[in-house]
Structure 1
Amino acid sequence: MFPGLSAFPLTPMNEDAIDEAAFVRLVERLVAAGVDSIGCLGSTGSYAYLTRAERARIAGLAVAHAGGTPVIVGIGALRTRDVLALAEDAQKAGASGVLLAPVSYQKLSADEVFGLYETVSRGLSVPLCVYDNPGTTHFEFSDELHGRIAQLPNVRSIKIPGVPAEPDAARARVERLRALIPPHVSIGVSGDAFAATGLNAGCEVWYSVVGGLFPKAALAIVRAAQAGDAQEAARLSGRMQPLWSFFGQCGGSLRVIATAAELRGWAGHPSLPLPLNTLEGAARQRLAALLDELELA
């Protein structure tokens, strides 16, 4: 399912409306850079803060301006009926695939999660990516559950939250999962700091936050890994380590990426839905300096 760089853009917004013009500009930047796919309405796209109508609008805009680049649309929601409705909207918009996290207020069981994917996958006409993101869903997939879900119709990728930092351990982790899933189901790494290690360990896709704003930097890492130059991929990722570390210092990547979009003039301020806020004061100044140091533009 769309190997290479899957770039996840921000959905710029304020309390009144989505900034559609800013979103379109971000999508067009990704197309111009040559990303392999675009993932709208992921966590970076703030899908959980949007209405069904807003999500349908964003999906339509992404497809309309993707220029033939495959668009993957997030369809996560609290209730299965809503996931099914969002899947229908995404397919009507022309999405090339959908991304589903097991979102819930109550902690889900493994059987409940399997039932969700079984129900949703049965009605799809496009590929589905399983979004394994325990940091937001508070559900931890076992490899065995991934193996069960990977047998379902239309499941074509698994987005894992990261890999061990040590290369041999990372490869062992990917190989354990690969042994349980069919060959037509790709393994994708997320967590930008782990991307190069994951790609070098056998992941076919990088589902990237930073790629949604700075696609050239992310593409350089992906293309090095795809060419078999593990050392260069690791070097390029290491150069970005100050930014990866800053993500951790700020409680995650979303506020950092949104602030970076504001600093570069690609989104207005505010660009996140309240109660979320972009960075201010010393943290904002530090990020501005980092972007310049890393030559991210």
Structure 2
Amino acid sequence: MFKGLSAFPLTPFTPDGDIDEAAFLRILERLVSAEVDSLGVLGSTGSYAYLTREQRKRVATLAKAQAGAIPMMVSVGAISTRQVLDLADDAQHAGADGLLLPAMSYQTLTEDEVYELFDTVSRHVSVPVCVYDNPGTTHFTFSDELHGRIAALPRIGSIKIPGVPADPAAASARVQQLRKKIPASVTIGVSGDAFAGLGLNAGCDVWYSVCGGLFPHTAKAIAEAAARGDNAQVTVLTERLAPLWALFRRHGGSIRVMAAAAGILGLTGPACLPRPLKPLSAAYCAEIATVVEALGLR
């Protein structure tokens, strides 16, 4: 399941702080209709860190019912190993086809502690695990040596890396450097949407995509060009989205922009983020609406 376009949708909220189930299903309908290669439920854009265990279980259950034949990966990140194992059980019971595991912490983790986390989880579960390397949110940075140790564990299926260098030759070297450390059965996926084209052209097997979680047709065209080996088209299509990537940078990441865009499309209410996150101003939303329309995002 770790190939092509993995679309990461928002988990929208009501103003009272409950999950907006109707809005969530509307978002999922777009992804299923576009036939994305997999769903990445409860990723960072899916606000997993803000949800209770019961809410996370409910989101996974709703997503599986909507997904049909599309494989579903569910994030099981939490502070303690015990919580992670409980969440993994819940996700598998809900029908998850794979699990996404970040190295979350309050105290700074050592490499041995992170390895033990993945070792414990990989031996506990029955579905493949994707290593979520996201230092921007977890504040833990994986070394390639640690990736190699973890990738040799049972049921490790993919590594979600946080972007690649901006120079194409350096991006290719980065991916090949990591690939030498891991088994051939473990795929490498690029995240950080502004780096998608560079990563796919450098040899990444999958795009773990925030853009694809709301604009699946736009993202799928890029993933399909990569699958054809059409590097030039991948570059054209991703560089065309530079105004969207600029919005992500301006607003501290993708989640506030995607939430605003979902509201602009009428999929969610105007304030669909979990508190304390707040919606963008009307002026910023107008700017985002202009970009969505000008780029024809869908």
Normalising to structure 2: TM-score of the pair? 0.98
Superposed, 1:83-122 pairs within 5 Å as: 83-122=84-123
Q: Tell me, yes or no, if the aligned pair for 1:30 and 1:212 is still in contact at 8 Å.
A: yes
CA distance in 1, matches of 2:65, 2:282: 37
Equivalent residue number for residue 286 of structure 1 = 287
Amino acid at match of 1:185: V
Aligned to 1:234: 235
| Distance in 2 separating the partners of 1:111 and 1:278 | 39
Conserved 8 A contact 1:2-1:70: no
Deviations 1:162-215 (A, max 9, x none): 001111111100000000000000000000010111011110000000100000
CA distance in 1, matches of 2:264, 2:278: 14
Q: After the TM superposition, which segments of 4 or more aligned residues of structure 1 sit over 3 Å from their partners?
A: none
SS at match of 2:18: coil
SS at match of 1:286: helix
Q: Find the aligned partners of 1:167 and 1:228 in 2 and give their Cα distance.
A: 15
Q: How many residues align?
A: 297
Query: Residue by residue, what CA displacement relative to the aligned partner does 1:265-296 show, whole Å, maximum 9, x if unpaired?
Result: 01112100111012113211111111111111
Q: CA deviation at 1:26?
A: 1.1
Q: Distance in 2 between matches of 1:107 and 1:196?
A: 32
Q: Secondary structure at the match of 1:272?
A: coil
Once residues 215 and 59 of structure 1 are traced to their aligned partners in structure 2, the CA distance between those partners, rounded to angstroms, is: 19
Counterpart code for 1:57: R
Equivalent residues in 2 for 1:3-22 (5 A)?
3-14=3-14, 15-22=16-23
Name stretches of at least 5 consecutive residues in structure 2 with no aligned partner.
none
Q: Counterpart amino acid of 2:257?
A: V
Alpha-carbon distance, 1:24 to partner: 1.1
AA in 2 matched with 1:88 = D
Residue in 2 that maps onto 1:76: 77
Structure 1 residue 103 displacement after superposition:
0.6
Task: Give the distance between the partners of 1:264 and 1:94, measured in 2 at CA.
Answer: 29
Q: For 1:120 and 1:225, locate their aligned partners in 2 and report how far apart those are by CA, in whole Å.
A: 32
Paired residue secondary structure (1:164): coil
Higher mean alpha-carbon deviation, 254-263 vs 276-285, is at: 276-285
Aligned-residue Cα RMSD (Å) equals 0.8
Residues 187-198 of structure 1 mapped to structure 2, 5 A cutoff = 187-198=188-199
Distance in structure 2 (CA, Å) of the matches to 1:229 and 1:278: 38
Q: Are residues 1:23 and 2:24 paired?
A: yes
| Contact in 1 for aligned 2:192/2:209 (Cα 8 Å) | yes
Cα drift, residue 2 of structure 1: 2.6
- Structure 2 CA distance for aligned equivalents of residues 235 and 278 of structure 1: 31
**Secondary structure, counterpart of 2:46 in structure 1:** coil
Q: Distance in 1 between matches of 2:199 and 2:87?
A: 30
- Distance, in Å, in 1 between the alignment partners of 2:281 and 2:8 is 23
Does structure 1 retain, via aligned residues, the 8 Å contact 2:28–2:67? Answer: yes
Sequence identity (%): 61
Secondary structure of 1:59's counterpart equals helix
Q: Is the Cα–Cα contact under 8 Å of residues 5 and 38 in structure 2 kept in the other structure?
A: yes
1:253 aligned to 2:254?
A: yes
Residue type at the aligned position of 1:86: L
3-state SS of the aligned residue for 1:65?
helix
Displacement after TM superposition at 1:261 (Å)? 0.2
User: In 2, Cα distance between the equivalents of 1:255 and 1:108?
Assistant: 28
Match of 1:57 in 2: 58
> 1:152-231 maps to which residues of 2 (within 5 A)?
152-231=153-232
Larger mean CA deviation between 225-234 and 7-16 belongs to 7-16
What is the CA-CA distance between 1:123 and the residue it aligns to?
Answer: 0.7
229-238 vs 8-17, greater mean Cα deviation: 8-17
Code of the residue aligned with 1:5 in structure 2: it is L
Amino acid at match of 2:2: F
DSSP-derived class of the 2:67 partner: coil
